[in-house]
Amino acid sequence: MSDKPIEVSPATREISRRDLLVKAGMVGAGGIAAGALTGPAGAVARVARNSAKTIPTGGTITWALNQDPGEIAPFGGVLSATQWGNEMMYDSLLQWDHKLNLRTALATYEVISPTEIHWTIVPGRKFSNGQPVTAADLQYSFQLQSTDPAPGSISALGQFPSIDVANSGPISTYKYRMALSRPDARVFGYLAWTRYSGIVPNGMYESLNPSVSGIGTGPFMLSGDYQPGVGINYVKNPYFWQPGLPYLDGINYEIITQDSTAIAALISGDLDGATVSNANALTLVGHPGLTVLHNLTAAFRELQMTIKAGDTKPWWDLRVRQAVSLAINRTNIIDNVYAGYGQLTGHVAAGYGPWPLTTAELATYETQDVAKAKSLMSAAGYGSGFSVTMTTFSTPSDFPAMAQLIASDLSAIGIDVSIVPQPSATFAAANGNGSFDWDLTARGMRGDVDGYVAEFNPADAVYDIWFSGFKNTEMWRLVGDGRIQLNETKRLPIYHDLDSLLMTQLLEVPIVSVESFQVVSDKLKNMYVSFTGSNPGLRYVYLES
């Protein structure tokens, strides 16, 4: 475990007008919306390479959040926006670099036994109030994480690994003994995921209102309270532990829910950066003063199916599920819905560290083969097809668009798909209680690779809700083994085997992994689009004068 600071010049992918034209040529005319290319040509984006030069410090940037966090409490946060609102303020014991490698943040660790880990707080780690981080703060934070007091929701408890807080505790002022109720490999990823595992000073919840205020060890600290619906202002934390960071004096978050508003403010220079939709970002390629960044994200798209005991549906037959997967033209979806910015994915999100199957491996399962799909349908006794309802999100618009292409592909093998777009709350309700046939949905960041396959673990609640009619002991064994194997070298083949097995069983049909886009001012350097879906890159950005 390295204690060196995260590298400051993460690989970021910028897009220039030239890149876009190449991409447009690849996807064909109309693949990118007509009129998308605005501004004069020649403003080719440059990747920020700053390792050899002195980085300017100071300045404050304005960044758009496209959803109001609602509250910024560190525990029990359930919305992505909550994390966007507080991620500059809190750290966990570990952190991910931009390649999802685990790094030390507040403490180093030593695995004493499969159920005991000792954490040593790195000297000099302090909260933004100047108070040193101690083992008592760790115990207090874990207690809160394991109970998720209001204003958060206990809905985050499902993310909490097997840390036995009652039997854990300080060994000394700066050393902490963590007991696990069972061996649990998820613990390290969890402790790098600030969304759920931030460290706060002992007694913080009793001394302030964590909905709108907070104290952490992150690079920035609040300047005044968060105002719901209005915004959040952060200033530099003078006690931040990474040498030289942050470069900025402050970050002001504005809540801008409309892409059009964010784009107008980016063009006028009132905004330094924003996450915008793929289609809107592409309209800004080549615009003077703006740089379009993009990167793969964890939110890959997949088709979920229910296989419930006491029910009989055509897709209970493995051959039908395989036919469905083979009939889908994923390249067409990537090109026409995502303008070429996507790739194949398995059950573990493409780009999630060393864990996913390679693109070449995925291609063996996911290349469209309609003839084979038809023959599988006939062999399963569904040569004349069947009808099914596929629910999806009504917004963002890529979901209904993707659903249309899938329905069109499946009609070629006789499957008549009725698409039902729904608001997210309606979709979430049916998804949670299993009252759906097919859901076209998206995944997201997970603290540990187990999070992408947890629904195939019969011990987890959702298995009974979705897959009570399905049995595969090999799958169960692999899911269970992966969760308790602490040694990463031994763990990697387990997940490789598991994903390969899942690619043939297809309880869920992975569709595509997609890229996310951010548009930033040219003067804002070192930003990158994070795979995680939040904005850790803002910790390392600077303003070029």
Partner 1 sequence: MQRYLLQRLASLLLTLVGVSIAIFFMIRLLPGNIIDLEFFGDPNATPALKHRAAEQIGLVGSYPTQYFHWVGGLLRGDLGRSLLSQQPVSIAVGQAIPITAELIVLGVLFALAVAIPLGMISAVMRDRPADYVARFTGLIGISIPNFWLATLLLILTSRVFHWVPSLTYVRLTHHPIANIEQFFMPAIAMSVFTLALVMRMLRTTMLEVMKLDYVRTARAKGLSRRSVLVRHVLRNALIPVATVVGYEIGYLISSAVVVEAIFDLPGLGSTLLNALNLRDYPTIEAIVMIITAVFLVVNTVVDILYGILDPRISLTT
Residues at the contact surface with partner 1, assessed by CB under 8 A: 62, 67-68, 70-71, 78-79, 150-151, 153-155, 157-159, 211-212, 227-231, 252, 254-258, 260-261, 263-265, 267-271, 423-432, 443-444, 454-455, 457, 460-463
CA dist 4 → 37, 122, 316, 437, 476 (Å) = 42, 12, 51, 49, 39
Cα distance between residue 94 and residue 119, in whole Å: 11
Length of the chain: 545
In sequence order, what are the residues at sequence separation of 6 or more whose Cβ sits closer than 8 angstroms to the Cβ of residue 539?
88, 218, 219, 245, 246
Nearer to partner 1, 269 or 381 (CB): 269
Q: Using alpha carbons, list the distances in angstroms from residue 3 to 120, 121, 123, 241.
A: 12, 11, 11, 11
Hey, what are 305's tokens?
């199916």
Residue 331 CB, nearest approach to partner 1 (Å): 27
Question: CA 63 to CA 231: how far, in whole Å?
Answer: 10
Q: How far is Cα 132 from Cα 174, in angstroms, rounded to an integer?
A: 9
Q: How many CB atoms lie within 10 A of CB 373?
A: 25
Report the alpha-carbon distance of residue 538 to residue 527 in Å, rounded.
Answer: 6
In the complex with partner 1, the residue whose CB is nearer, 231 or 536, is 231
Q: Identify residue 314 by its one-letter amino acid code.
A: P
Q: How far is the CB of 463 from partner 1 (least distance, A)?
A: 8
Nearer to partner 1, 181 or 227 (CB): 227
CA atoms within 13 A on the CB side of 211: 12
Q: Which is nearer to partner 1, 225 or 369 (CB)?
A: 225
Do residues 211 and 76 make contact, with C-beta atoms less than 8 angstroms apart?
no
Q: Which amino acid is at 451?
A: G
Specify the pairing of strand 415-422 against strand 438-442.
unpaired
For partner 1, give the closer residue by CB, 231 or 414.
231
Q: Which two tokens stand for residue 461?
A: 């609640």
We find the least distance from the C-beta atom of residue 61 to partner 1, in angstroms, to be 12
Question: Which two three-digit tokens encode residue 297?
Answer: 């994200």
310 contacts 510 by C-beta, under 8 angstroms:
no
Closest to partner 1 by CB, 14 or 272: 272
Please report, for residues 301, 350, 499, the alpha-carbon distance to residue 361 in angstroms, rounded to integers and kept in the order given. Answer: 18, 12, 11
Q: How many whole angstroms separate alpha carbon 196 and alpha carbon 215?
A: 15
Q: How far is the CB of 450 from partner 1 (least distance, A)?
A: 10
Cα–Cα distance for residue pair 8/73, rounded to 1 Å: 28
Question: What minimum distance in Å lies between the beta carbon of 368 and partner 1?
Answer: 28
Coil, helix or strand for 219?
coil
At residue 419, what are phi and psi to the nearest 5 degrees?
-95, 130
Q: Smallest distance from the beta carbon of 406 to partner 1, in angstroms?
A: 21
- How far apart are CB 63 and partner 1 at their closest, in Å? 11
66 vs 516, beta carbon nearer partner 1: 66
Nearer to partner 1, 370 or 501 (CB): 501
Q: Residue 135 Cβ, how far from partner 1 at the closest point, in Å?
A: 28
How is residue 538 written in tokens? 């803002």
* Cβ closest to partner 1, residue 8 vs residue 442: 442
Q: Which is nearer to partner 1, 44 or 154 (CB)?
A: 154
Q: Least distance in Å: CB of 233 to partner 1?
A: 9
Least distance in angstroms from the C-beta of 263 to partner 1: 8
